[in-house]
Structure 1
Amino acid sequence: METPSERRLILILSSERSGSTLTRVILGENSRIVAPQEMFLMRYPDYRTFRERHAVAIESLVEFFALVGQPRDAAAIDAACAGRSTPDVYQWLFGFLRPGELLLDKTPAYANDGDTLRRSLPLEPFYVWLIRHPLGVIESHVRIKFQEQHTPDLVGLARRIRDSLVDRVAKSVHGLLPVARQREVKWVMQQTIIREFLATVPDDQKWIIKFEHLVRNPEPVVGGLCEALGVAVEPKMLEACGARRVMNVHLGDPNFHTRDHIEARAADAWRQYFTEDRLTRETRRLMDAIGVVRDGG
């Protein structure tokens, strides 16, 4: 088994809308971590299937090569990876890292099925389980879905319109509207898959962080994570939101570029719209099992 100093891959496991883009950007400011946008590569057994089913994600591989200072276009990557299995593609990428560097892959879709996570095992990654309160995930998901359905000329009214929509969800006499309930079900599914998978992984190969802790008090959370990863905390990491970044909306948080600092209020934004009694018993039981702090807890 690889030691922490020899390990080359970090996988962030989370549900969508849980702060994985923020976590990627923070870690990407470390001089030893190469952190492109969502790679999606691990979802597929080989490079050919990856290119056929998620063509846009080639942008992340192109970005990887830009980050390591060895630019390559999609055609060059295609030529080099033709016929390769997914683990072989990762090993090929590791060859472009400098000694001591780590590749970070954060793709929430990896939590959709256990086969994807098991595919990563031969690479012996360090797994970071990022957990956010399900109502925080739901509130953020509903807001994003609403924005996707409206034209750009409504951007100036985004907050007022968002509030109106989420208020409607919150006032539903039957609990959560379908778009919110579907997101709750997916949160339960993804967290269960991650939990069951990580139960098979040695303790020294995994770490848990809570989104709420990260945004409220980032310094100790980032410090603990860096220690677990075997890298030093660097000052730029806690200033990560200061730089505007161009991101493909299909490969990360489409609103990340609008923020210039880590927002503590994001931890509790859901509270003005929802209460935990809207969640199913199954969701609340899982929250307790994985350490999500509940109201009154």
Structure 2
Amino acid sequence: MRDSRKSVIGKGLRRRGRLMIQAVSPPRRTLNAIPAPRTEAAPTESSYVAPRAPRLVDSPVFVLSSVRSGSTLLRVLLNSHSRIRAPHEMHLRTVHVQLTRSFTADAMKALELDKTELEHLLWDRVMHLELTRSGKDVIVDKTPPNTLIWPRLHRCWPEARYILLLRHPGAIIASLTERRQDPDHAEILAEVLNYSEKLEEARQTLNVHVVTYEDLTAEPEKATRALCEYLGVEWESGMLDYGSKDHGRFRPQLGDWSSTIKSGRIQAARTADPTVELPPRLREIATAWGYEV
């Protein structure tokens, strides 16, 4: 008798001259099944270099310095001025964008943008937002590792201004050695040399204003007057009384947080240990900066 059930799918097979019917179960349907993720080729690097887009902040100010060179002191002195906003370390170089799809680079290229320029636009927007919130008109970023990428900063902001804050390399080495637990002397020497090389490159290449940590602490009025002249603002005596102003919380990774900076008073710089032997190249750079070695 012929099976008339419609749920059975018939498949014809010929065996010994007879037509056989093979029942094939329909595929099961799983409730709430999750489709397999779509695979897509990873984004590829593009050789396209986008032109520079307009900036919201045309002429930001960057303090270029080594770590342990008094950059937090310089920041709070500048931030005490009624027209200058110098926030904590901004670490813009660590803020990145991702082009996550294979076609994203082409989409951005059609807009005359690339990954680097997108990051520059984001950095500029952060700068502008901080400046707008402060109600001031000059913004200063004093993040020491900016020194290591100064060519990119110059590319991002061709009209940027730069303050080179120098300190005797021997004093920096002593400060780092004292600050760190179980210090590695060779590692510290390499770090100070790396910063010093980049600072010397910037000094030789850019139009910069140079101030030393030793002069800033010994003659703060003279040093800050010169800084104000460079930045095009009138000097204010209140800059020297930074402890009476609000500069945000002093905390690790955003600047110096020692009792010295928290005291609210400018204190004398510790001199370099004359017995510390500097490597030849570091000695050469220190001499070029006017230090005795």
TM-score (norm 2): 0.65
1:86 to 119, 124, 129: 119
What value does the CA root-mean-square deviation take over the aligned residues? 2.8
| TM superposition shift of 1:225 | 0.8
Q: Does 1:185 align with 2:186?
A: no
Is residue 125 from structure 1 mapped to residue 160 from structure 2 by the alignment?
A: yes
**Separation (CA, whole Å) in 2 of partners of 1:243 and 1:100:** 15
Contact 2:97 2:119 in 1 (8 A): no
The match for 1:156 is: none
Q: Secondary structure at the match of 2:226?
A: helix
Identical amino acids, percent of aligned pairs: 30
CA contact (8 A) 1:10 1:105 kept: yes
1:275 partner amino acid: T
When residues 217 and 197 of structure 1 are mapped into structure 2, their CA distance, relative to the original with a 3 A threshold, is closer
* Number of equivalences: 216
**CA distance in structure 2 between the aligned counterparts of 1:84 and 1:283, rounded to whole angstroms:** 35
Provide the residue aligned with 2:97 in structure 1. 48
Q: Give the drift of 1:95.
A: 4.4
Residue 236 of structure 1 deviates from its aligned partner by 1.5
Q: Counterpart amino acid of 2:287? A: D
For structure 2, the 5+ residue unaligned runs are 1-56, 99-115
Q: Conserved in 2, the CA contact under 8 Å of 1:130 and 1:211?
A: yes
* 1:263 aligned residue: 267
Q: 5 Å matches for 1:1-297?
A: 8-41=59-92, 43-44=93-94, 47-48=96-97, 85-93=118-126, 95-96=128-129, 97=131, 101-113=137-149, 115-122=151-158, 124-146=159-181, 179-201=184-206, 203=207, 206-242=208-244, 246-255=249-258, 256-264=260-268, 266-268=269-271, 270-271=272-273, 275-276=275-276, 278-291=277-290, 293-294=291-292
By relative contact order (CA 8 Å, sep 6+), the higher-ranking structure is 1
Question: Which protein has the bigger helix share?
Answer: 1
| Structure 1: gaps of 5 or more residues | 1-5, 50-82, 150-177
CA–CA distance in structure 1, aligned partners of residues 156 and 148 of structure 2: 14
Provide the secondary structure at the position in 1 that maps to 2:180: helix
> Which amino acid in the other structure matches residue 292 of structure 2?
R
Greater Cα radius of gyration, structure 1 or 2: 2
Tell me how far apart the structure 2 counterparts of residues 118 and 183 of structure 1 sit (CA, whole Å). Answer: 27
Are 1:12 and 1:20, in contact at CA under 8 Å, matched by a contact in 2? yes
Structure 1 length-normalised TM: 0.64
Write the distance in 1 (CA, Å) between the matches of 2:189 and 2:202.
Answer: 20
**Larger % of strand: which?**
2
Question: Relative to structure 1, is the Cα distance of residues 94 and 117 closer, same or farther in structure 2, using a 3 angstrom cutoff?
Answer: closer
Q: Which runs of 4+ in 1 moved over 3 A?
A: 46-49, 93-100, 113-122, 241-245
Kept in 1, the 8 Å contact 2:154–2:160? The answer is no
